[in-house]
Amino acid sequence: MILVFGSFILGGQRVIKEFGIGLAAGILVDAIFIRMAIVPSLMMLFGKANWWFPAWLDRILPRLAVDADDIAAHAVDGDGAGSEPALVGSGSAPPD
């Protein structure tokens, strides 16, 4: 994306050149400073809190399982949700 927006600098209009410089610089700052420095630092500071999921949202969202073992583990868990996870990619066609 930096190269694409940087190529706008070669255009003939001044406004297009300014947009090219601004967008290329914005992506460069995002890639280097934010994604390579700030995000990993914050993830290290927050630890397990990075993967916290609100309980109210967990109750609302459907439970999906890719593997039949996941369904068996959920049934053994007995978390009281009352719904079995749907098996995704089981190869069986839905009923008509």
Radius of gyration of the CA atoms of the chain, in A = 24
Instruction: Kindly report whether the global pTM for this prediction surpasses the value 0.75.
Output: no
The 10s digit of each residue's pLDDT in 14-62 is 999 999 999 999 999 999 999 999 999 999 999 999 898 899 999 999 8
Contacts 24+ apart (CB under 8 A), 10-18: none
Q: Rounded to an integer, what distance in angstroms lies between the CA atom of residue 90 and that of residue 85?
A: 12
Element (H, E) at 13: none
